[in-house]
Structure 1
Amino acid sequence: MSHTAAYAVPRSPAGGAVAARATGLSKVYGQGETRVAALDSVSVEFRRAEFTAIMGPSGSGKSTLMHCMAGLDSISSGSARIGDVELGSLGDRQLTRLRRDRVGFVFQAFNLLPTLSALENITLPLDIAGRKPDPEWLQRIVTTLGLSGRLAHRPSQLSGGQQQRVAVARALTAKPEIVFADEPTGNLDSRSGAELLGFLRESVQALRQTIVMVTHDPVAASYADRVVFLADGRIVDEIHAPTADAVLDRMKAFDAKGRTN
Structure 2
Amino acid sequence: MTTLTDTHSSGPEGVATGTAVSARGLNKNYGRGETAVTALQNVDVDFASGRFTAIMGPSGSGKSTLMHCLAGLDTVDAGSITMAGTDLTKLNDAQLTALRRDRIGFIFQAFNLVPTLTAEQNITLPVALANGTVDREWFDFVTTTLGLTDRLTHRPHQLSGGQQQRVAVARALLTRPEVIFADEPTGNLDSRVGAEVLGMLRRAAQEMGQSIIMVTHDPLAASYADRVVLLSDGKLVGDLSNPTPETVLAALAKLGA
| Greater shift in the superposed pair: 152-161 or 233-242 | 152-161
User: What is the CA distance between 1:164 and its match in structure 2?
Assistant: 1.6
Residue 140 to residue 188, structure 1, CA distance change in 2 (3 Å)? farther
> How many Å separate the matches in 2 of 1:54 and 1:189?
21
Give TM-score, length-normalised by structure 2: 0.90
Residue 114 of structure 2 is aligned to residue 113 of structure 1: yes
* Contact map agreement 2:17 2:50 (CA 8 A) in 1: no
> How many Å separate the matches in 2 of 1:43 and 1:133?
37
The aligned amino acid for 1:227 is: V
The aligned residue for residue 173 of structure 2 is: 172
Deviations 1:89-110 (A, max 9, x none): 1111111111111110111121
Residue 78 of structure 2 is aligned to residue 82 of structure 1: no
The aligned residue for residue 246 of structure 1 is: 247
User: What is the CA distance between 1:177 and its match in structure 2?
Assistant: 0.6
* Contact map agreement 1:24 1:79 (CA 8 A) in 2: yes
Identity %, equivalent residues: 60
* Contact map agreement 1:145 1:195 (CA 8 A) in 2: no
Trace 1:1-261 onto structure 2 (pairs within 5 A). 16-255=17-256
- Structure 1 runs not aligned, ≥5 long: 1-14
The aligned amino acid for 1:45 is: D
Residue 20 to residue 179, structure 1, CA distance change in 2 (3 Å)? same
The aligned amino acid for 1:133 is: V
Deviations 1:79-126 (A, max 9, x none): 112121111211111111111111101111211111111110110001
> How many Å separate the matches in 1 of 2:73 and 2:52?
20
Deviations 1:7-52 (A, max 9, x none): xxxxxxxx94111111010111110011111111111011111111
SS where residue 148 of structure 1 aligns? Answer: coil
User: What is the CA distance between 1:243 and its match in structure 2?
Assistant: 1.1
Moved runs in structure 1, 4+ residues, more than 6 A? none
Aligned length: 242
> How many Å separate the matches in 2 of 1:144 and 1:209?
15
The aligned residue for residue 10 of structure 1 is: none
* Contact map agreement 1:229 1:235 (CA 8 A) in 2: yes
What's the Cα RMSD here? 1.5
> How many Å separate the matches in 1 of 2:17 and 2:175?
24
Deviations 1:131-168 (A, max 9, x none): 22322322232223232222111122222222222111
The aligned amino acid for 1:30 is: G
| Greater shift in the superposed pair: 161-170 or 179-188 | 161-170
- Structure 2 runs not aligned, ≥5 long: 1-15
| Greater shift in the superposed pair: 125-134 or 173-182 | 125-134
Give TM-score, length-normalised by structure 1: 0.89
